[in-house]
Amino acid sequence: MLNALFGSEARVKIINLFFLYPDKKYSSAQIAQTLNRPLNSLRREMNNLLKTGVIREAKPETGATKKYFNVNLDFILFPEVSALCAKTQILFSQNFIVKLQKICQPKLLILSGFFVNCPDAKTDLLLVGVVRRAAFLKLIKELEKELGREINFTILKEREYRYRREVMDIFLYNILEGKKLVLIDTLNKQK
C-alpha cells in the first residue's frame, strides 16, 4: 500500500496537491500545469491513485466535457496522509529558514496562504527585514521547485511594517489575524 501511495516523485507531488487543497477539483491538464510535469506521465500516476482510492473522479459540472478529480475524503488513511503533507510543508519551510538566515537577518517571517491551507490569502510568505533581493529570489525559486508551485511573497522593511501595523493596514491585518504560522518573530518581542 505504501508503495502505491509514495512510489514515485510525481505521485508524491500529486498527493501533496490534492491533500493540501482537499476542497478543489483538478483536470489532468491543470495538474500537469500546476506541477510542471508532462501530462502522459501524470496520467499513469493518476490511474494508480484512482485504483488505491486516494483520489476519485469528481462529479461533473453540468455540461462539462473534461474529467475532474478530487481527493477521496473517505480514503481510510486520509487524516494521516493529510497530516503528513502538512508536516512536509513545515519541513520545507525549516530548510528555507536556514538558507534564508544565511542571506539576511529576518525580523519576522510568517507563512500563510498555501502553507496553512488558506487559498484565499493574499500572500504565502511575509518577510520583514533587509533582504538582498537577488539572493532571496534565487532561494524562492528553489523553494518553488521543491514544492512544485508558485509562492506569493511580500517583503517589508521594518519601518514600513510598523507604519502599516499602526494604521491597521487591511493587507497586513489579514495576515496577522488570519491563519498563519510564525517562524521568526523578533519584532513583537521588542518593547
The number of folded domains in the chain is 2
The pLDDT tens digits for 95-112 are 778 888 888 889 999 988
Q: Which of 123, 51, 38, 124 is nearest to 89 (CA)?
A: 124
Backbone angles phi, psi at 93, to 5 degrees: -70, -35
Query: In terms of DSSP bridges, do strands 181-185 and 26-27 run parallel, antiparallel, or are they unpaired?
Result: unpaired
Same domain? 92 vs 177:
yes
The pLDDT tens digits for 33-60 are 888 888 888 888 888 899 989 899 987 6
Last residue of a domain, one of 53, 76, 99: 76
pLDDT value for 6: 64
Residue 82 lies in a domain: no
Same domain? 99 vs 53:
no
Domain coverage including residue 39: 2-76
Q: Which residue has the higher pLDDT, 14 or 158?
A: 158
Indicate the pLDDT class of residue 79, thresholds 50, 70 and 90. Answer: confident
Share of the chain above pLDDT 90, in %: 24
CA dihedral of residues 136, 142, 146, 150 (deg, nearest 10): 60
pLDDT value for 171: 95
**Which helix H or strand E contains 128, and what residues bound it?**
strand 125-128
126 and 156 in contact (C-beta within 8 Å)?
yes
Same domain? 9 vs 95:
no
Residue 99 lies in a domain: yes
